[in-house]
């Protein structure tokens, strides 16, 4: 049973969701959230992670993360082929043409988001500078944690589209659904179809912090206070109208702060439509900002499409309360990524090349020595067994040759150790062995006595045997017993014919006398001419 921890490295809080995964599926076992303090980014992230990972309930066998912050660059390409090897070969040139610095300075990976009749491929590529990735992995090294996968925050939601289509219930008729993860400083958009998969993704700066800034500017209050008020009392216009003038002023500020997000979403959806010829028909919100009352209704109104806040599948509800589900959606999707396999597993992983995950290699390295010793021992045993077997067979072969030589010397007058040649000589017409009979009277008598059924009380008065004929005379209790005896003798391969003679009652009438003539000729035995 594997314990998989999905970690969302948010700029406002770090969230973790733990799965227990086995052959039958997975179960959500724990979740936790730790707020980041004010200060230098790496230090606050490290402190929050240290506190989160100290939770015994979140101890895991593998950790999956998405690249945090705005460092990740996303590009989309359409390549005129579908062969994975050709995609691998062509992408470096395509990526390099989009970069303002050398390709050797970055790490990138890709995810195929669509193919058309195997003649072209739509590819989503994520690029990050090596120094950014090295810094992140170094932070985890300091915490004695090694993430197995570092993925794209948008591609993370491929797992929701494929593995939990029930989360999009009610949107089955639309062409595409957009998952909009509104974080504190960054927004992630993932567009796809439930049960089919991800087709488009991007990230951009902006999110809940813009709404807090607008609120702080409206009421001339410090940003932390504005953010706290937003979390506790904040609501959009559809909810705030009944809460008084201040709530309405706050709702107006939130709407102004929401405009940069909407300005990014509209062209994002248009870009998707231009590439796929399909419209985004619904929006599912997640992230910490999605908890703002009335936000889903306001975004749906602005974008002219249905919108709602994401609810996790029922299996997670017993562990993650409904009010916390929007902000842990990415962590949940990352945990899904860890237990996915086959076609359900996105290939995107920035742990490549010099940043490749060493855990699997170290495990294999540890086992290679043991396997090598087992293989060497097995090889030595096989060699020893072969030597012993060959030695024994050589001795047995010498014994057989000596016996065969002695036999042919005695019968043929010459030593012959080749079995086939010796057998042909012994069977030869002109050889001394040709005069030897194939059967003897003793052998035939033994065959007759063995064929008489034990349940038939037969008394034989006369037994005449030669190599071609056997005559039996005697007494039995009834003619039925004679028939049984005849049938039994006919079963012998060399008794070609068994002919009953005249059957008569004895003088006292208590028994019957009989005579059986048996013609002897074994298969492949030539008939002796008289």
Query: pLDDT (tens digit, 9 = 90+) per residue, 106-135?
Result: 999 999 988 887 788 999 999 999 999 999
d(CA 19, CA 24): 13
Mean pLDDT of all residues belonging to the chain: 87
The domain 3-357 belongs to what CATH superfamily? ATPase, nucleotide binding domain (3.30.420.40)
**pLDDT value of residue 362:** 47
Pick 441-520's CATH classification: 3.60.130.10, 4.10.110.10, 3.30.1360.100, 3.10.28.10. Answer: 3.30.1360.100
CA angle 468, 469, 473 (to 5 degrees): 165
Q: Phi/psi of residue 436, each to 5°?
A: -75, 130
Instruction: Give the residue from 281, 283, 230, 238 showing the smallest Cα distance to 261.
Output: 283
Q: Phi/psi of residue 507, each to 5°?
A: -60, -40
Please, which pLDDT band fits residue 411 given cuts at 50, 70 and 90?
Answer: confident
Decide if pLDDT at 365 tops 60.
Answer: no
d(CA 245, CA 406): 124
pLDDT above 90 coverage of the chain, percent: 48
Q: What is the pTM of this model?
A: 0.68
Q: Quick check: 145 and 63 in contact, CB under 8 A?
A: yes
Decide if pLDDT at 91 tops 90.
Answer: yes
Spatial neighbors of 308 by CB under 8 A, at least 6 apart, are 283, 284, 285, 296, 300
> Average pLDDT, stretch 87-107?
91
Spatial neighbors of 502 by CB under 8 A, at least 6 apart, are 515
d(CA 79, CA 94): 9
**pLDDT value of residue 344:** 58
The position carrying tokens 């049938």 is 487
487: left (phi over 0), alpha (psi -120 to 50) or beta: alpha
Indicate the pairing of strand 186-193 with strand 197-205: antiparallel
């Amino acid at each position: 049973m594997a314990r998989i921890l999905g970690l969302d490295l948010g700029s406002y809080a770090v969230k973790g969701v733990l799965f227990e995964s086995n052959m039958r599926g997975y179960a959500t076992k724990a979740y936790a959230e730790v707020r980041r303090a004010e200060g230098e980014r790496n230090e606050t992230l490290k402190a929050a992670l240290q506190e989160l990972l100290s939770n015994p309930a979140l101890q895991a066998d593998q950790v999956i993360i998405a690249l945090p912050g705005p460092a990740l660059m996303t590009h989309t390409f359409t390549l005129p082929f579908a062969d994975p090897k050709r995609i691998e070969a062509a992408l470096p040139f395509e990526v390099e043409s989009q970069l303002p610095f050398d390709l050797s300075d970055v790490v990138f990976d890709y995810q195929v988001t669509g193919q058309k009749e195997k003649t072209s491929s739509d590819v989503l590529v994520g690029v990050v500078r090596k120094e950014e990735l090295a810094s992140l992995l170094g932070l985890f090294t300091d915490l004695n944690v090694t993430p197995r996968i570092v993925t794209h925050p948008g591609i993370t939601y491929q797992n929701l589209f494929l593995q939990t289509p029930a989360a999009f219930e009610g949107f089955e008729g639309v062409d595409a659904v957009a998952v909009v993860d509104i974080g504190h400083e960054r927004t992630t958009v993932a567009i796809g179809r439930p049960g089919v998969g991800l087709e488009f993704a991007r990230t951009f700066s902006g999110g809940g912090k813009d709404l807090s800034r607008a609120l702080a500017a409206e009421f001339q209050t410090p940003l932390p206070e504005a953010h706290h008020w937003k979390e506790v009392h904040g609501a959009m216009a559809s909810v705030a109208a009944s809460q008084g003038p201040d709530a309405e002023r706050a709702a107006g500020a939130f709407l102004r702060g929401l405009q940069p997000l909407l300005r990014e979403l509209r062209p994002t959806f248009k870009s998707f439509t231009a590439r796929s010829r399909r419209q985004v028909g619904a929006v599912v919100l997640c992230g910490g900002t999605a908890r703002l009352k009335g936000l889903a209704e306001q975004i749906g109104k602005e974008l002219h499409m249905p919108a709602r806040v994401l609810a996790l599948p029922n299996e997670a509800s017993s562990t993650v309360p409904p009010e916390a589900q929007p902000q842990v959606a990415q962590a949940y999707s990352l945990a899904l990524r860890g237990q996915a396999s086959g076609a359900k597993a996105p290939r995107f992983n920035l742990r490549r090349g010099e940043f490749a995950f060493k855990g699997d290699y170290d495990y294999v390295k540890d086992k290679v020595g043991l396997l090598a010793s087992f293989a060497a021992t097995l090889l030595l045993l096989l060699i020893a067994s072969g030597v012993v077997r060959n030695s024994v067979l050589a001795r047995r072969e010498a014994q057989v040759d000596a016996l065969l030589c002695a036999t042919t010397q005695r019968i043929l007058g010459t030593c012959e150790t080749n079995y086939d040649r010796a057998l042909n000589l012994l069977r030869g017409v002109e050889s001394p062995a040709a005069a030897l009979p194939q059967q003897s009277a003793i052998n035939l008598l033994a065959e007759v006595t063995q064929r008489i059924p034990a349940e038939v009380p037969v008394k034989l008065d006369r037994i005449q045997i030669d190599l071609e004929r056997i005559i039996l005379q005697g007494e039995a209790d009834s003619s039925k017993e004679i028939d049984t005896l005849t049938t039994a003798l006919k079963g012998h391969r060399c008794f070609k014919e068994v002919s009953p003679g005249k059957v008569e009652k004895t003088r006292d009438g208590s028994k019957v006398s009989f005579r059986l003539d048996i013609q002897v000729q074994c298969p492949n035995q030539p008939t002796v001419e008289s």
